[in-house]
Structure 1
Amino acid sequence: MMITVKRSKKSSLRSSPKKQSFSDGSKNLFAYGIVALFASLVGTYLDLIFVGKGMYHFPARLFPEIFTINIVFTLVILPLFTILFLLVVKKIQPFPRFIMILFISTVIFFIEQFTEHLGWFKHHTEWNHAYSLLGYMLFLFVVWKLFIFLSKKS
């Protein structure tokens, strides 16, 4: 004999929310880690290329006798910003996400110019800051798509 118990529709008790399994959490952790590493590598190599071509340089940087780029930005700030970005945009709808990417890219556009005034960053005279605006928009879009791909893949 089998007894089946159902919750009454009139019951005031809530059903317990479904808990995220460990494998789901580790999958997301893996995606965050890989995307942060990707962001760091892309940032590092783009800086190496553009500094090598003389498009910009970093007058103030850690270990200037060893590195031609700002390793604090590419190895610490960029990966942390990427993770923060992903934590926020995964919770919003596509159109607000697009607006957020546009907004962040615009803010970086102005931050870049401000850091030049502080002497941390120096562009070649022919540099157009619109390159940075478009570059960061593309970067954030690619980061988001890679995160989505990795979240679904694992």
Structure 2
Amino acid sequence: MKNTAKQWKKSSLSSSQKRQSFSEKNNEWQAYIIAALFSSIIGTYLDLFFVGIGMYHFPMRLFPDIFTVNIAFTLLILPVSVILFLYVANRMLFLPRCMMVLTVSTAVIFIEKTAEQLGWLNHHPAWNHAYSFFGYMLFLIVVWSIFRFFRVKI
């Protein structure tokens, strides 16, 4: 007599307790990479624009004869920070995620002021740090949307 177990059509495990297949994990990592690349490209072009119109500049940067923007920030710090943000945000509910976006956007103001004191960044006197708050808030929302889109579509 052969003893076989029937597979249940409905699992008692919640969706967070179910294991992801290899392809689902691969899709998720591809979405992280796409979002990080997107953030790097958008960050670079926004920096080029704002440096170009004189709203800020980077006195300390790699290869100053070649680049007018801080490529260490746009090619390393920003994408790594975005991946960290997405990793944490992906494990949060809607309201805590919104609070995190507001907290990070607020923290950017203090980070910019510290970068100015360290001589890494100089803003034009007409610059208002509220621009950074709203800019990063919009940036994080767009990056989150890109991540969610590609996490599902790939």
TM over 0.5: yes
Per the alignment, residue 144 of structure 1 pairs with: 144
Per the alignment, residue 62 of structure 2 pairs with: 62
Question: Offset at 1:18?
Answer: 4.2
The CA distance in 2 between the partners of 1:136 and 1:150, in whole Å, is: 21
Counterpart amino acid of residue 53 in structure 1: I
The CA distance in 2 between the partners of 1:21 and 1:101, in whole Å, is: 30
**Structure number with bigger Rg:** 1
Counterpart amino acid of residue 82 in structure 1: V
SS in 2 for 1:64: coil
Matched, 1:79 2:79: yes
Per the alignment, residue 135 of structure 2 pairs with: 135
The CA distance in 2 between the partners of 1:70 and 1:95, in whole Å, is: 33
The answer for unaligned runs of 5 or more in structure 2 is 8-16
The 5 A counterparts of 1:1-154 are: 4-5=4-5, 18-154=18-154
Which consecutive aligned stretches of 4+ in structure 1 deviate over 3 angstroms post-superposition?
Answer: 1-7
Sort the Cα spacing of 1:42 and 1:92 in 2 relative to 1 into closer, same or farther, 3 A.
Answer: same
SS in 1 for 2:59: coil
The CA deviation string for residues 7-51 of structure 1, in whole angstroms up to 9 with x for no partner, is 9xxxxxxxxx74321111110111001000000000000000000
Across the aligned residues of Structure 1 and Structure 2, the Cα RMSD in angstroms comes to: 1.7
Counterpart amino acid of residue 34 in structure 1: I
The CA distance in 2 between the partners of 1:75 and 1:64, in whole Å, is: 15
The CA deviation string for residues 71-100 of structure 1, in whole angstroms up to 9 with x for no partner, is 000000000000000000010110110000
The CA distance in 2 between the partners of 1:122 and 1:63, in whole Å, is: 18
Question: Offset at 1:4?
Answer: 4.6
Counterpart amino acid of residue 23 in structure 2: S
Counterpart amino acid of residue 74 in structure 1: T
Instruction: Give the TM-score, by structure 1 length.
Output: 0.89
Count of aligned pairs between the two proteins: 145
Q: Once the two structures are aligned, what percentage of the paired residues are identical?
A: 57
